[in-house]
Chains A and B, each alone.
Chain A
Amino acid sequence: MTHAKTSTMDLAARWLVLGLLVVYTLYNVGPIFWLLLSSFKSRMDLFTMPPKLFFTPDLSGYQSVFGVGAAKDSASAIGVFDSLVNSIIVSVAGTSLAVFFGTLAGYVCSRFNFMGKGDFMFFVLSTRMLPPVAVLVFYHLMFARLGLADTRFGLILVSIFANVGLATWIMKGFFDGVPKEVEQIAIVNGYTRMYAFTRLVLPMVKGGIAATAGFCFIFAWNEFAFASILTTTQAKTLPVKISAASGATGIEWTQICAAGVVLIIPVLIFFYLIRKHLLMGMTFGVLGRS
């Protein structure tokens, strides 16, 4: 009797777990689905009640993101194409330099003991915790004085700073995984340490560099706080442009949804490419920036 009772209870518990998982999955996936669907809706279809699941797809949102077609000249278009270009330039340049500097620093932190190493590592890590608005109060003044306000160069500088700490930590983790004997043998055989680093160790952490670049790119690509305060017209990135996306007829939801979809595509590609290193990178890099 008791046995039968526990098994029905087990079954109930299993159904409860399954039900909760389904609810969570709907909560998790639903908004993404809605974003994708809405990005193809015309302005008319957006506001109909009850909301339409089936409708004639309308590409005006995407046209305005890529600056093509009829949307280009219409009054309601907010012209996000320039900001897409800015986003690409800033995040690619910022990521490359952050990963380059972070790889060098990560290597030294993995292989050498030097004075103040612990403090240096804490300082590097603490940059990840820094609330952007706090330093922005001063950047705002500093950028104006140095002529960096509203320039891509200024944003690239911010992007390097915001990601180099993460890159250093993740790369240190990957270098720690390479045995020290690699350099020792090379040095015993008369090669320089620099040679051992560039020709032997670096090729061994290729995957790690790609993963680090993926992470940094995602953060640089989605970055909002810095870009929103430090740009006014010329250097606006896509997330900033989205936040100001109100045209002649209120908020341009179709364009926002389309821009949201465009923003997530490169991230998805990177995520797919680095999926093997995801957990490793997450643990070492102490995780994404919000």
Chain B
Amino acid sequence: MSDTKIPSGSDTQAIAHATRQNVLRKRSSGRLMIFGFLSPTLAILLFMVAYPIFSLIYYSFYNFSALRQSTMKPVGLGNYAYLLSDPELWERFIFTGKFVFICVTLQMLIGIFVGYQMQKNFRGRDVIFTILMMPMMLSPVVVGFLWRYMLNSEWGIINFLLSSVGIAKIDWLGQTNAALWAAAAADTWMWTPFIVLLATAAFRGIPETIYEAAEVDGASPAYRFFRITLPMSAPVLFIALILRLIDSFKQYDLFVALTGGGPGSSTETVSFSVAKTAFSYFYTGEASALAVILLVIIIGLSMILVRHLTKMGEKY
């Protein structure tokens, strides 16, 4: 009996679902609506994303400068071969990699820690939360200049504070390593609130009953955190991680304002290098090839993100 009952139940559900879909589709020109409502978005994205990307791929096979647009010399994979054998480009990638690694590590650790504290209900929580979010609302250019202003080795507030505890002046933006840490500090300052925001939301979404059950079993706070909180919020935290990975990898604005790529060209990210090649040297073909390389990396990372997003979408 029960064998026949269960499938028939889901069958009627499926039929009901199908008729509902049919009603929705047939009534009043659904197809026209789909077309009409999607076309502006689709048109602008095709024109502003698909067309430029295909053009970039096309240009990346040419020796070509935006300044002399009449002379285009096909070079096959020459631009790619040149770029990939250029030790300077590898330096950009290594610098960008270091920057991404420091930023993402710091932001995740601090963000999870603060988010864990912020999930508790306490007086003034909303106000504190809003204040904590403020760095994220600033323009990256303002953030860059603000930190450049504070990090000035002569009259900056940071060296002043350090000197008051007996640390000698540091030429923050004049040395490659110090500049790397300065940029990471600025990026972390700006984007840790983002992790706090997501982590808090994820932590608050964990049902209280699970903690209560653990309490009964006498679980320690450490056990609570590492065995319940972290695993249960892992999907959201992972998405936050990938997003920060992508965003810090393509970071450009901050470096324009903070270091200008200097000292020398030691703090140029890959994005910065694309901009410099294209808009200072006008090696458009070469810049296109570099942009394509950058796009391939970003698309790869995005696909990991999207796979997890859709997995999460199926779950909830």
Interface residues of A (CB under 8 A from B): 17, 20-21, 24-25, 27-29, 31-32, 34-35, 38, 46-51, 101-102, 104-105, 107-108, 111-114, 120, 122-127, 129-142, 144, 157-158, 160-161, 164-165, 168, 180, 183-184, 187, 192-194, 197, 218, 221-225, 228-229, 239-240, 242-243, 245, 251, 253, 256-257, 259-260, 263-264, 267-268, 271-272, 275, 278-279, 282-283, 286-290
Contact = CB atoms under 8 A, between A and B. Distances in A.
A51 B160 contact: yes
Contacts of B33: 108, 112, 193-194, 197
Nearest to B244: A290
B114 interface: yes
29 contacts: A29-B131, A34-B146, A47-B154, A51-B155, A104-B36, A105-B37, A131-B250, A131-B294, A131-B295, A135-B48, A135-B291, A137-B278, A161-B45, A193-B27, A193-B28, A193-B30, A197-B33, A218-B137, A224-B141, A229-B275, A229-B279, A243-B145, A263-B138, A268-B134, A271-B137, A275-B130, A279-B201, A283-B201, A287-B243
B41 A104 contact: yes
B141 A164 contact: no
B41 A239 contact: no
B28 A31 contact: no
Contacts of B201: 279, 282-283
Contacts of A129: 246, 298-299, 301-302, 305
A197 B253 CA distance: 40
Nearest to A112: B34
Interface stretch (B4-12, B73-81, B187-195, B210-218): B187-195
A131 B189 CA distance: 21
Interface residues of B, number: 95
B199 to A, nearest CB: 11
Interface of B: 20-21, 23-25, 27-30, 33-34, 36-38, 40-42, 44-45, 47-49, 52-53, 55-56, 59, 66, 69, 110, 113-114, 117, 126, 130-142, 145-147, 149-150, 154-155, 157, 160, 189, 191-194, 197-198, 201, 239, 243, 246-248, 250-253, 256-257, 271-272, 274-275, 278-279, 284, 287-288, 291-292, 294-295, 298-299, 301-302, 305-306, 309
A106 B297 CA distance: 28
A125 B191 CA distance: 20
Contact of A133 (B25, B27, B142, B291): B291
Given A129-B301, A239-B139, A50 B160 contact: yes
B189 to A, nearest CB: 7
Contacts, number: 273
A275 B127 CA distance: 11
Nearest to B295: A134
B56 A138 contact: yes
A137 B287 contact: yes
A113 B25 CA distance: 9
Contact of A21 (B117, B145, B284): B117
Q: Is the interface of A mostly helix, strand, loop or mixed?
A: helix
Given A21-B117, A133-B271, A141-B284, A107 B37 contact: yes
Given A193-B30, A194-B33, A133 B252 contact: yes
A24 B114 contact: yes
B49 A135 contact: yes
Contacts of A28: 131-132, 134-135, 189, 192-193
Contacts of B250: 131-133, 290
B298 A279 contact: no
A124 B43 CA distance: 12
B218 to A, nearest CB: 13
A278 B200 CA distance: 12
A35 B139 CA distance: 13
B117 A134 contact: no
Contacts of B132: 25, 28-29
A131 B271 contact: yes
Given A129-B298, A263-B138, A108 B45 contact: no
Contact of A164 (B27, B36, B44, B155): B44
A122 B139 CA distance: 27
B32 to A, nearest CB: 9
A136 B278 contact: yes
Contacts of B45: 123-124, 127, 161, 164-165
A122 B302 CA distance: 10
A142 B137 CA distance: 31
B33 to A, nearest CB: 6
A260 B142 CA distance: 6
A17 B284 contact: no
A125 B48 contact: no
Contacts of B305: 129
5 interchain residue pairs of minimum CB distance: A222-B139, A131-B250, A161-B48, A134-B291, A104-B37
Contacts of B136: 288
Nearest to B299: A126
